[in-house]
Amino acid sequence: MPFKKFGLCDELVQGILATGYTAPTEIQAEAIPLGLAGKDMICCAQTGTGKTAAFVLPILNRIVISGKKTRKNKKVRSLIITPTRELAIQINDSVRGYGRFIKMRSIAIYGGSPMDKQIRALKNGVDVVAATPGRLLDHIQRGTINLSSVEVLVLDEADRMLDMGFIKDIRKIIEQISPNRQTMLFSATMSKGVTALTQNILRSPKMIQIGTQHNPIDLITQHIFPVTKDQKLELLLCMLKRQQMYSVLVFSRTKRGADRICRKLRQHDVKAEAIHSDRTQRQRLRSLEGFKSGKYKVMVATDIAARGINVTGISHV
């Protein structure tokens, strides 16, 4: 079924086609009609199923339909909360990509980016905000963002936000938003914590389940190699050379350890990059793009930095 049949506006369909998409995924086919109808929903689906467009397209369509009557209002109209800066940037890129023919403004708000630049953009007025909980709460406390006019709230990767300890921040943020809103929650799993959260913030939500709920670990073949600390790098190098490992994510407990592993791999002609919080956002994005494109065989990351990395085709971790 083509996107046009959802009843999306012409400008939005143009934007979708310009990004290269012609037909919706399963989650989009189920979620977009509900989103357009203003229904609250809970969508349980794995990463990579196309869920971003499932909530971005209804948001953009709402902006077009409301038209100029709300353009003079500089308050935020749609808020998307997501766990990491990488995801906030990806979502904002999707908003701008699909909405390239629509008169609207969007911004990604996250830590590690200049606060004054974000404040200026908010003062000028934005329709859509994709934000991480910590930086968004900072803006709320400073009084630099007004969420009283938010019409649509999206919680993306809800299970991961709870795992990362953002539940209190999320509840504080939701207190700033009118209860007369549309709320869409997306999660890979429906844990007890996620279920408890949905009971308080959604109104008669529709449930969408894409695929069978499972623990991702069930799809991974695991091997354990007992080895002393001083032999770990030697074993890693041996495995990289002898096995068919073409896209490898290596975790390090510390930032210094990540840099040390990366240097050692490079010394042995392994194309590797490190990603951690000491690197600038631009450096992190450049490294991530290089890893996605296959420029780097190995990405060495700290646990915190790796959250939000969405790369298809990883062969080994």
Instruction: Tell me which architecture the domain covering 3-209 has in CATH.
Output: 3-Layer(aba) Sandwich (3.40)
Provide the residue-wise pLDDT of the chain in tens; the chain has 317 residues: 678 889 999 999 999 999 988 889 999 999 999 999 999 999 998 777 789 999 999 999 999 998 755 555 678 999 999 998 888 999 999 999 999 999 999 999 999 889 999 999 999 999 999 999 999 999 999 999 999 999 999 999 998 898 888 999 999 999 999 999 999 999 988 888 888 888 889 999 999 998 665 555 566 788 898 989 889 999 999 888 877 788 889 998 888 989 999 999 999 999 999 888 788 777 888 888 888 888 999 989 887 555 556 676 788 88
Which residue is listed with tokens 């902006």? 63
Prediction pTM value: 0.76
Q: Where are the alpha helices (DSSP H) in the chain?
A: 10-18, 26-36, 51-66, 85-98, 115-124, 133-142, 158-163, 167-174, 192-201, 232-242, 255-267, 281-293, 303-306
- Find the radius of gyration of the CA atoms of the chain: 21
- Give me the residue spans of the domains in the chain: 3-209, 221-306
Q: Select from 68, 132, 64, 130 the least CA-distant residue to 99.
A: 64
Give dist(CA 252, CA 230) in Å, integer.
Answer: 14
Sheet holding 248-252, edge to edge: 248-252, 298-302, 272-275
Q: Which residues does 171 contact at the CB level (< 8 Å), separation at least 6? A: none
List phi, psi (to 5°) of 63: -65, -45
Domains 3-209 and 221-306 share a fold: yes
Hey, what's the torsion of the CAs at 48, 50, 52, 58, to 10 degrees? -170
May I ask the CATH class of domain 221-306? alpha beta
Q: Which residues does 175 contact at the CB level (< 8 Å), separation at least 6? A: none
The dihedral sign for the CA sequence 20, 24, 25, 27: positive
Identity at 294, one-letter amino acid code = G
